[in-house]
Structure 1
Amino acid sequence: MNFVHAVLFAALQGATELFPVSSLGHAVIVPAVLHWHINENSPGFLPFLVMLHLGTALGLLTYFYVEWLVMARGVLGLGYAAENSSARALFLKLVVATLPAVIIGGLFKKSIAHLFGAPIIACVFLIANAALLLLGEKLRSRHIRQGNISYLDALVIGIFQCLAFLPGISRSGAAIVGGLKRGVSHAGAAKFSFLMGTPIILAAGVAEVPKLIHRHQLHALFGLSLLAAIISGTVAYASTAFLMRYFKDHDDWALNPFAIYCAVAGAGSFLLLATGL
């Protein structure tokens, strides 16, 4: 992987992890369409991906640092009683929302792992992601509730998030669609999705670190990987800031532009790959 590929890959990861367009789908499709010839089995590729995920997670942590500090204070009982109760409730809801992914991922991840390196399949699921986003807007509850997300809301959002085990289905997009179905606003569902995704993305990166140390691969391309992580984190922070404002200002149709993009990008990439252009 050369310098230009690394920088573009980092920016792509930082944006698509938050935008409802599937980071995994883009990571599979873009190199294939642009003929980057990246060897995903090379010793340096896994450390590079780990650094990208750590950078993205740190970008999210930085944007929502106040929420995480309040949550930590509440869990440890260091705040006022009402603040502690609210913070602990949010923490438990995030745990509830994460459980479906832990269970379903543990049961089925190996059986669908072969899909993750197939660009054509990722294109099909990217088109499916477009349909999911459009369906989410079509079937969303017309009674948008004000106030906090309930435990049942959290569970439904967590179940919808599991659709992202398919390469091309967006984790944030599926989670937001689950929130819309429960009557949560775009902004409320997006914020919960981003908070929920932070430990998941962080854990996905940290889980690979012991393996890298064991294989003595942590030093491979470290400088380039560190730069890519900084870029990924910066783009993730900017993407989060943009999306939080965007979802708040366009609550009637916020997912539609992303659905159109996924449909066009998925179909166009499928044609390019199928014809060998």
Structure 2
Amino acid sequence: MDTLQAVVIAILQGATELFPVSSLGHAVVLPALLRWGIDQHDPSFLPFLVMLHVGTATALLGFFWRDWWALFIGVIGIGDTHQVQESRRVFLLVVIATIPAVIVGFLLEKFVRGLFASPLVAATFLIVNGVLLLFGERLRQRGQRPLSSLTQMDALTIGIWQCTALIPGMSRSGATIVGGLLRGLNHEGAAHFSFLIATPIILGATVLEVPKLLHESVPAGVLELSVLAAVVAGVTALLSTWFLMRYFRQHDAMALNPFAYYCILAGVVSLGLLVLI
């Protein structure tokens, strides 16, 4: 992998991890279309992957630092009674929403990704992801519930939706935002909760890879390239989060449609090109 390829993949990771268009689907399809010949299962790719996740998670922590700080001091009991109770309630919701993906990911991630992680299948599920986003917009509840009204059942439902992201082409953020919309949240609230629960998922995936990394010999130059990619992915993720939160705040009518149309178009074009080449 050369520097240009590393930077392109880092930008792709930083943007598509937050945009509801599937980072994994793009990571599977794009290298195949460009014929880069990158083996993502090669041990030398592992430090690069870990650093991409570190960059993205750092960006999310930085953007939502006030939320995480409030949760931290509330959980340890600092503040007035109401603040402590609310912080602990929200923290519990984040934990509940994270549990399904942790369980399913631990049990089935290798099987699911091994079964579906071909460029043709990933391109097909990009189309499915687009249809899901359109489905979510059409069937969403219009109650405009605030994020503060989220219940444990709401969090569990959103967490179950998050499990679909194990399939390349299905977007984690897209699925969880749709889950939030179907539970009556507006786009901003659904996106806010989606990005909050993304942080432990991304950090958890990173931590799981670290023991493997410690047993691998890192080729010369890979660590430097990985650090560069982490910075690029982090900056891209920070800008993406800022844009999306602003976008969803200003657009609460069919806000997912542009991403849905993009996924359907990208999937159809990718399928055509993959078949032709």
Kindly indicate whether the alpha-carbon contact (under 8 Å) linking 1:115 and 1:121 is maintained by their aligned counterparts in 2. no
Deviations 1:21-66 (A, max 9, x none): 0000000001111111212233321110110011100000000011
Indicate the larger mover: 102-111 or 190-199. Answer: 102-111
- The within-5 A match list for 1:250-269 is 250-269=251-270
Which residue of structure 2 lines up, in the alignment, with residue 125 of structure 1? 125
Q: Give the deviation of 1:153 after TM superposition.
A: 1.2
Amino acid at match of 2:73: R
Cα contact 2:53–2:206 (8 A) shared by 1: yes
Partner of 1:161: 162
TM-score (ref. length: structure 1): 0.96
Aligned equivalent of 2:62: 62
SS at match of 1:44: helix
Equivalent positions of 1:188-267 (< 5 A) are: 188-217=189-218, 221-267=222-268
> 5 Å matches for 1:143-158?
143-148=143-148, 149-158=150-159
CA contact (8 A) 1:10 1:232 kept: yes
Please name the residue that 2:115 is paired with: 115
Q: Which amino acid aligns with 1:234?
A: V
Alpha-carbon distance in structure 1 between the residues aligned to 2:110 and 2:274 = 26
Q: Report the secondary structure of 2:145's partner residue.
A: coil
Preserved contact between residue 160 and residue 178 of structure 1 (Cα < 8 Å)? yes
Does 2:170 correspond to 1:174? no
Deviates more, 1:58-67 or 1:29-38: 29-38
Letter in 2 for 1:196: I
Question: Aligned equivalents of 1:243 and 1:135: distance in 2?
Answer: 20
User: Who is 1:98 aligned against?
Assistant: 98
CA deviations over 1:127-171 (Å, ceiling 9, x no partner): 000000000000001222235122111111111111111110000
Asked whether the 8 Å contact 2:117–2:167 carries over to 1, the reply is no
Which region of structure 1 is more displaced relative to structure 2, 212-221 or 30-39? 212-221
Equivalent pairs, count: 276
Q: Which moved more, 1:152-161 or 1:121-130?
A: 152-161
Q: Which amino acid aligns with 1:172?
A: S
> How large is the RMSD of aligned CA atoms in angstroms?
1.3
> What are the superposed Cα offsets for residues 191-217 of structure 1, whole Å, 9 maximum, x if unpaired?
101000101101111221121112233
The amino acid across from 2:7 in the alignment is V
Shift, 1:86, TM fit: 0.8
Mean Cα deviation higher: 211-220 or 148-157: 211-220
C-alpha distance in 1 between matches for 2:43 and 2:183: 44
Cα deviation digits, residues 74-115 of structure 1 (max 9, x gap): 111122221111111110000110111122223332331313
Q: 1:144 to 1:218 in 2, by over 3 A?
A: farther
Given that 1:11 and 1:231 are in contact with CA atoms closer than 8 Å, whether structure 2 keeps it comes out as yes
Cross-structure match for 2:14: 14
Are the aligned partners of 2:187 and 2:252 in contact in 1 as well (CA < 8 Å)? yes
Q: Does 1:45 align with 2:45?
A: yes
* Counterparts in 2 of 1:69 and 1:35: CA distance versus 1, 3 Å: same
Partners of 1:118 and 1:202 in 2: how far apart?
Answer: 25
1:115 and 1:133 mapped to 2: Cα distance?
24
Give the counterpart letter for 1:135 in structure 2: F
